């Protein structure tokens, strides 16, 4: 690559003192601070730096901003690599390293270009018409071809490793959010700030100014950027104004919630200071919003309009004015509106030879005179019809065109190595559309503009309204800022500034022009692209029309128009206008697709912010957690809690550990950390009424000092939680819930108390974290607890099963429930959370064996006790699990009515049963499906499933609980539990209580 020969010797907003070396596709380049990657590369010429999606045609830089369809690059390598960035939006930094995407082996020689030559076979939607596997077998051809299509599709590559960078979120509130820092946005921000509003001004560029950054505009007889600088000073001095540069407002949501992405450390590249996040996601709640989002220039299509060196006209102006780069010596500008005249004049001033082809017969006289006197060749009534060349432009042709865009005379060659095309302007109404604005076709500028959203507190100003003149943009901005401030309650009166702009005489209307040539079938003058990124041509639009994919959504989905990473910013309106021409409708009648957030892409990491790793979801630990961790605990996640599953000793397998823990409880004494069980404190005179309504059983008879087990159901009658509730005093109860449902149950109680029974005098308070709980269980439990220093009488007479006592243990206030989930005598000792570890250590010191959740599961299963969520799944009633005894006949409660529905009252529903494998060495698989006939071929008649299954050291063999159709009436039958692959295990249906059926052990 020869030197930066296309950099103008003077001008631009680059810092020529700060040269920055960088590399692209392995070659070394030099640019300046203030450059984008695109401008720095263009200084070396408009060469191909990308390949297109479908045809792999060489592509160059096309635009100067977010609308760029072509110049996607892979930035950096390794874990910090970033695919699909637009070169036009990458600020140059020293050492930047970028490469082309979607080209193999290289961007200069891409084998997939074969797609282009075969393109007659690949019209839009060709893949719907072939690979059906006709006659060869279902979809076999597609299976063969799909991997190739997948490899050919996609642009860049995912990074090689986990993202080392950091992302932040920031919440902000303001009176007025101004989106866009061009003349309209600055004017709006000034007006709102002068009224004393809290203002946030967000602009996506490194510096505000918008269109003024091209440097060729004037305000009050001075360069317009002087006005911009003054405006920024004023805003900087205002107390409540936040100016966010490099910040793209990406989406607007209900109630004027906005998301914006700020580039922070990103612009320094991999060597960014460590304290900076790469990106910061702003979540802004604005009372009022002013959208000064500007407009994107659109091209018109002509043959080979994708050749590198064809650019948007205004992009040529911006590269020349802002970056002092003109990547050509002879420029052909094609236009149908006034805006290209400024580009022509700017280029002429820089000494570039310019031909300006205006499709209008009679451009405004003043403009024509101005360009002619600057030495520019002006061709009126002409449009560009084609460019020649493949990897760079080797000339172009212009010709008169008819109203429908068809060529009306013979094309004439024009010498050109750079082509700028302007087909008009599309207001950037994306954000307005997010808030529900309907795009309305405006004939004069031939574009869609947003309808009025002021009732929602959203106003538009500047080019987004279709405005063209600078004065109009300033005026609209001022009015929108003032009105927004007023609507936000800022009523301070301010004086309207009077500004004189260089707009000149009133312009002439646009001549709508969408595609010159390339539309008709059989037109062999070359492809005329509408969507450059997705390789959608004018012919593809015509084909979609012919095949009746005429809705704008069908057009988009059938041809992929506007579905690329640029979301069709330069393509959509042209595409639907062409569809309108094909089908005899105005663009308005064709309609637009709905713009979807985000306006420009946002990295997933920025959306996740700091919610990563341990912060992804909080971990809840009990006061004894550290002891567990230090003593071999293997943890399991239960909800957000970490619970010990088992405590492994050295040399022990997990199974051995569980067996040892179970045996300890059965034969001596074990302790379990039960702090995670939900605990809800219930106070008030009507607690018993509440309990009667939410639990299936009766609560009237529960005395102070006693506890009772209860089942809770939804109105459909299905179990959703269970637990023990104790009566501490006449009007004071404490309810326990399962670990996972603690919050759900509290919400459930509150829902009923507040919305249905506000007359009930009950306060419900979660006290789960206030207490630490150790369950002491086993034949030696009473001896162990009796040895604790305290004032409690542990004798069976004084403290029987299902009783509760308050007292002091180790000097701490304690609340003890004598309840059992293991089948042994058992005490749940609750102490204030910060005494939990001391209690635990005292119990361990007394000789207790700690046991985990799995041993607890085995112990309770031997007793036939259910676990909600394991024996139940939202389809199981109390009667199904054999707890009809806990369902009151005497009162109404939530869910009761459902039990008399035909299906719920069926006698042959699935019932909880016990299963004993005929071979006692077998442990039936949990989840195993139960059948009568193990030889049946699938689909088999499944009668239920194994809900819990363990090896029991006490029973010395496997045993299981199961839900079995008509199970209670099948005691003694042999059933079969299918193995995962083949065969089945035979088992006998038994009562679900395997151990100590009369309950003697748990009573003492």
Q: Which of residues 686-715 bind another protein (CB under 8 A)?
A: 715
Residue 395 CB, shortest distance to another protein, in Å, is 26
Binding residues for another protein restricted to 716-745, rule: CB under 8 A: 716-718
Residue 424 CB, shortest distance to another protein, in Å, is 25
Bridge partner residues of 908 (DSSP) = none
Which residue do the tokens 């701490």 mark? 812
Q: Whole-angstrom Cα distance, residue 705 to residue 728?
A: 6
The site string for another protein over 911-930 (x = CB under 8 A, - otherwise) reads: --------------xxxxx-
Quick one: which of 502, 636, 681, 996 contacts another protein (CB under 8 A)? 636
Residue 162 CB, shortest distance to another protein, in Å, is 4
DSSP at 105 = B
Q: Which of these ranges, 402-410, 493-501, 754-762, 966-974, lies near another protein under the rule CB under 8 A?
A: 754-762
User: Is 81 a binder of another protein (CB under 8 A)?
Assistant: yes
Binding residues for another protein restricted to 159-178, rule: CB under 8 A: 159-163, 165
The two three-digit tokens of residue 683, written as one number: 């106070």
Q: Which of these ranges, 387-395, 407-415, 497-505, 871-879, lies near another protein under the rule CB under 8 A?
A: 871-879
Which residue do the tokens 């507190």 mark? 457
Binding residues for another protein restricted to 977-996, rule: CB under 8 A: 978, 980
Nearest in space to 999 (alpha carbons), one of 787, 835, 821: 821
Q: Whole-angstrom Cα distance, residue 248 to residue 255?
A: 19
DSSP at 648 = P
Q: Whole-angstrom Cα distance, residue 973 to residue 848?
A: 41
Which residue do the tokens 């695919």 mark? 83
Quick one: which of 17, 403, 614, 650 contacts another protein (CB under 8 A)? 614
Binding residues for another protein restricted to 512-531, rule: CB under 8 A: 521-523
Q: Whole-angstrom Cα distance, residue 101 to residue 564?
A: 14
User: Is 747 a binder of another protein (CB under 8 A)?
Assistant: yes
**310 vs 712, which CB is nearer to another protein?**
712
Quick one: which of 584, 938, 972, 1000 contacts another protein (CB under 8 A)? 938
User: Is 751 a binder of another protein (CB under 8 A)?
Assistant: yes
Binding residues for another protein restricted to 414-473, rule: CB under 8 A: 436
User: Is 23 a binder of another protein (CB under 8 A)?
Assistant: no
Q: Whole-angstrom Cα distance, residue 705 to residue 817?
A: 9
Quick one: which of 565, 574, 692, 826 contacts another protein (CB under 8 A)? 565
- The answer to whether 245 and 266 have CB atoms below 8 angstroms apart is no
Q: Whole-angstrom Cα distance, residue 450 to residue 293?
A: 12
User: Is 99 a binder of another protein (CB under 8 A)?
Assistant: no
Residue 935 CB, shortest distance to another protein, in Å, is 13
Residue 905 CB, shortest distance to another protein, in Å, is 8
User: Is 128 a binder of another protein (CB under 8 A)?
Assistant: yes
Neighbours of 330 (CB within 10 A): 17
List of E strands, 907-999: 910-917, 929-931, 944-952, 957-965, 974-978, 984-990
Kind of pairing between the strands at 330-335 and 353-358: parallel
Q: Which of these ranges, 5-13, 126-134, 318-326, 370-378, lies near another protein under the rule CB under 8 A?
A: 126-134
User: Is 221 a binder of another protein (CB under 8 A)?
Assistant: no
Q: Which of these ranges, 105-113, 157-165, 338-346, 646-654, lies near another protein under the rule CB under 8 A?
A: 157-165
The site string for another protein over 271-310 (x = CB under 8 A, - otherwise) reads: ------------x-x-------------------------
**537 vs 725, which CB is nearer to another protein?**
537
Q: Alpha helices, DSSP H only, in 354-404?
A: 365-373
Q: Which of these ranges, 392-400, 634-642, 729-737, 828-836, lies near another protein under the rule CB under 8 A?
A: 634-642
User: Is 361 a binder of another protein (CB under 8 A)?
Assistant: no
Bridge partner residues of 963 (DSSP) = 912, 945
Quick one: which of 17, 27, 117, 129 contacts another protein (CB under 8 A)? 129
**55 vs 478, which CB is nearer to another protein?**
55
The two three-digit tokens of residue 691, written as one number: 């309990």
What's the chain's Rg over C-alpha atoms? 38
- H or E stretch at 458: strand 458-460
Residue 876 CB, shortest distance to another protein, in Å, is 10
- H or E stretch at 188: helix 183-194
Binding residues for another protein restricted to 942-971, rule: CB under 8 A: 942, 945
Q: Whole-angstrom Cα distance, residue 257 to residue 597?
A: 13
Q: Whole-angstrom Cα distance, residue 575 to residue 488?
A: 40
Sheet architecture: strand order including 849-850: 804-809, 812-817, 826-832, 771-777, 670-673, 849-850
- The answer to whether 724 and 709 have CB atoms below 8 angstroms apart is yes
**25 vs 904, which CB is nearer to another protein?**
904
Residue 373 CB, shortest distance to another protein, in Å, is 46
User: Is 111 a binder of another protein (CB under 8 A)?
Assistant: no
User: Is 619 a binder of another protein (CB under 8 A)?
Assistant: yes
Cβ burial, residue 171 (10 Å; 0-12/13-18/19+): exposed
**416 vs 946, which CB is nearer to another protein?**
946
Binding residues for another protein restricted to 887-906, rule: CB under 8 A: 892, 896-898, 900-904
Q: Which of these ranges, 395-403, 419-427, 630-638, 801-809, lies near another protein under the rule CB under 8 A?
A: 630-638
**567 vs 725, which CB is nearer to another protein?**
567
**109 vs 763, which CB is nearer to another protein?**
763
Backbone angles phi, psi at 283, to 5 degrees: -115, 105
Binding residues for another protein restricted to 60-79, rule: CB under 8 A: 79
Quick one: which of 6, 302, 441, 645 contacts another protein (CB under 8 A)? 645
Which residue do the tokens 């501490």 mark? 728
The two three-digit tokens of residue 102, written as one number: 């979607």
Quick one: which of 157, 372, 500, 649 contacts another protein (CB under 8 A)? 157
User: Is 131 a binder of another protein (CB under 8 A)?
Assistant: yes
Residue 57 CB, shortest distance to another protein, in Å, is 17
Residue 719 CB, shortest distance to another protein, in Å, is 12
Binding residues for another protein restricted to 363-392, rule: CB under 8 A: none
Please enumerate in sequence order all residues whose Cβ is within 8 A of that of 413, keeping only pairs 6 or more positions apart, or say none: 395, 396, 397
Quick one: which of 375, 874, 884, 983 contacts another protein (CB under 8 A)? 874
User: Is 934 a binder of another protein (CB under 8 A)?
Assistant: no
Cβ burial, residue 109 (10 Å; 0-12/13-18/19+): exposed
User: Is 834 a binder of another protein (CB under 8 A)?
Assistant: no
Bridge partner residues of 82 (DSSP) = 75
Quick one: which of 15, 146, 369, 933 contacts another protein (CB under 8 A)? 146
**233 vs 715, which CB is nearer to another protein?**
715
Quick one: which of 18, 111, 132, 770 contacts another protein (CB under 8 A)? 132
Q: Is the peptide bond before 6 cis (omega within 30 degrees of 0)?
A: no
Nearest 10 degrees: Cα torsion 985, 990, 992, 994: -90
Residues binding another protein: number (CB under 8 A): 131
Quick one: which of 27, 273, 495, 759 contacts another protein (CB under 8 A)? 759
List of E strands, 204-326: 218-219, 222-223, 241-244, 247-253, 257-263, 279-291, 295-297, 310-312
Q: Is the peptide bond before 187 cis (omega within 30 degrees of 0)?
A: no
Quick one: which of 451, 756, 796, 933 contacts another protein (CB under 8 A)? 756
For residue 899, give Cα distances in angstroms to 882, 886, 904, 964.
14, 14, 5, 19
Question: How far from chain centre, in Å, is Cα 881?
Answer: 42
């Amino acid at each position: 690559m020869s030197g930066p020969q296309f950099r103008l010797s003077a001008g631009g907003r680059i810092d020529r003192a700060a040269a920055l070396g960088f590399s692209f596709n392995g070659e070394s380049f030099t640019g300046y601070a203030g450059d984008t990657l695109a401008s720095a590369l263009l200084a070396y010429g408009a060469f191909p730096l990308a390949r297109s999606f479908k045809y792999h045609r060489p592509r160059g830089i096309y635009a100067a901003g977010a609308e760029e369809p072509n110049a996607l690059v892979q930035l950096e390598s390794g874990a910090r690599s970033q695919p699909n960035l637009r070169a036009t939006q990458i600020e140059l930094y020293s050492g930047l390293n970028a490469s082309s995407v979607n080209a193999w082996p290289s961007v200069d020689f891409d084998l997939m270009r074969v797609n282009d030559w075969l393109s007659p076979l690949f019209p839009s939607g060709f893949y719907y018409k072939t690979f059906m596997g006709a006659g060869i077998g279902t979809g076999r051809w597609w299976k063969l071809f799909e991997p190739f299509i997948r490899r050919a599709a996609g642009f860049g590559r995912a990074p090689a490793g986990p993202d080392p960078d950091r992302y932040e979120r920031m919440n902000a509130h303001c009176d007025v959010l101004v989106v866009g820092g061009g003349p309209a946005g600055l004017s709006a921000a000034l007006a709102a700030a002068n009224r004393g509003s809290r203002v946030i001004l967000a602009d996506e560029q490194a510096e505000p100014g918008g269109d003024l950054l091209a440097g060729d505009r004037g305000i009050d007889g001075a360069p317009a950027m002087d006005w911009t600088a003054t405006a920024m000073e004023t805003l900087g001095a205002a107390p409540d104004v936040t100016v966010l540069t490099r910040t793209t407002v990406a989406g607007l949501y209900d109630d004027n919630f906005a998301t914006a992405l700020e580039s922070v450390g990103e612009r320094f590249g991999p060597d960014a200071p460590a304290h900076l996040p790469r990106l910061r996601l702003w979540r802004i709640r604005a009372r009022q919003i002013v959208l000064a989002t500007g407009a994107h220039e659109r091209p018109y299509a002509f043959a080979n309009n994708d050749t590198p060196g064809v650019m948007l006209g205004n992009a040529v102006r911006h590269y020349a004015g802002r970056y002092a780069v003109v990547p050509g010596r002879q420029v052909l500008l094609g236009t149908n509106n006034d805006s290209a005249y400024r580009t022509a004049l700017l280029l002429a001033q820089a000494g570039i030879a310019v031909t300006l082809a205006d499709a209008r017969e009679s451009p405004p006289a003043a403009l024509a005179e101005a360009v002619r006197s600057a030495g520019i060749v002006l061709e009126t009534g002409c449009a560009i019809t084609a460019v020649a060349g493949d990897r760079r432009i080797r000339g172009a042709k212009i010709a008169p065109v008819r109203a429908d865009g068809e060529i009306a005379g013979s094309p004439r060659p024009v010498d050109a190595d750079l082509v700028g095309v302007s087909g008009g302007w599309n207001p950037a109404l994306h954000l307005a559309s997010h808030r529900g604005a309907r795009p309305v076709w405006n004939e004069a500028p031939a574009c869609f503009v947003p309808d009025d959203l002021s009732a929602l507190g959203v106003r538009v100003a500047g080019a987004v309204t279709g405005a063209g003149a600078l004065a109009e943009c300033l005026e609209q901005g001022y009015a929108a800022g003032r009105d927004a401030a007023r609507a936000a309650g800022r009523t301070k009166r301010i004086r309207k500034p009077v500004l004189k702009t260089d707009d000149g005489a009133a312009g002439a209307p646009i001549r709508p022009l969408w595609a010159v040539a390339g539309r008709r079938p059989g037109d062999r003058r070359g492809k005329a692209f509408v969507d450059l990124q997705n390789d959608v041509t004018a012919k593809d639009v015509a084909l979609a029309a012919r095949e009746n994919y005429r809705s704008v959504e069908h057009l988009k989905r059938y041809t992929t128009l506007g579905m690329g990473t640029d979301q069709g910013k330069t393509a959509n309106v042209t595409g639907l206008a062409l569809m309108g021409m094909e089908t005899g409708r105005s663009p308005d009648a064709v309609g637009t697709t709905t713009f979807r957030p985000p306006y420009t892409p946002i990295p997933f990491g920025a959306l996740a912010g700091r919610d990563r790793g341990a912060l992804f979801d909080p971990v809840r630990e009990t006061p004894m957690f550290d002891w567990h961790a230090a003593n071999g605990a293997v943890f399991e996640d239960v909800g957000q809690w970490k619970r010990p599953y088992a405590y492994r000793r050295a040399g022990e397998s997990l199974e051995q550990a569980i067996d040892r823990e179970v045996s300890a409880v059965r034969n001596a004494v074990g302790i379990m950390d039960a702090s995670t069980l939900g605990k809800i404190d219930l106070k008030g005179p009507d607690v018993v009424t509440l309990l009667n309504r939410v639990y299936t059983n009766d609560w009237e008879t529960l005395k102070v000092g006693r506890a009772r087990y209860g089942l809770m159901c939804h109105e459909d009658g299905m179990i959703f939680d269970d637990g023990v509730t104790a009566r501490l005093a006449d009007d004071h109860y404490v309810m326990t819930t399962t670990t996972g449902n603690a919050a759900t149950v509290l919400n459930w109680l509150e829902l009923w108390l507040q919305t249905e029974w506000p007359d009930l005098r009950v306060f419900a308070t979660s006290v789960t974290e206030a207490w630490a709980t150790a369950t002491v269980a086993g034949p030696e439990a009473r001896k162990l607890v009796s040895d604790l220093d305290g004032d409690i009488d542990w004798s069976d007479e004084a403290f029987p099963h299902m009783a509760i006592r308050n007292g002091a243990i180790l000097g701490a206030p304690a609340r003890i429930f004598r309840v059992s989930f293991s089948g042994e005598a058992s005490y749940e000792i609750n102490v204030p959370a910060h005494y939990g570890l001391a209690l635990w250590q005292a119990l361990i010191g007394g000789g207790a064996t700690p046991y985990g959740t799995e041993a607890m599961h085995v112990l309770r299963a031997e007793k036939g006790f259910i676990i909600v969520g394991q024996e139940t799944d939202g389809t199981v009633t109390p009667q199904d699990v054999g707890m009809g005894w806990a369902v009151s006949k005497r009162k109404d409660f939530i869910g009761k009515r459902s039990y008399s529905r035909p299906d719920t009252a069926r006698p042959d529903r699935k019932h909880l049963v016990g299963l004993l494998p005929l071979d006692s060495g077998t442990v039936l698989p949990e989840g195993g499906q139960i059948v009568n006939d193990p030889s049946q071929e699938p689909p088999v008649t499944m009668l239920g499933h194994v809900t819990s299954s363990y090896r029991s050291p006490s029973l010395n063999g496997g045993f299981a609980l199961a839900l079995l159709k008509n199970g209670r009436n099948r005691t003694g039958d042999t059933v079969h539990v299918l193995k995962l692959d083949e065969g089945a295990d035979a088992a006998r249906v038994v009562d679900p209580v395997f151990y100590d059926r009369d309950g003697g052990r748990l009573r003492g």
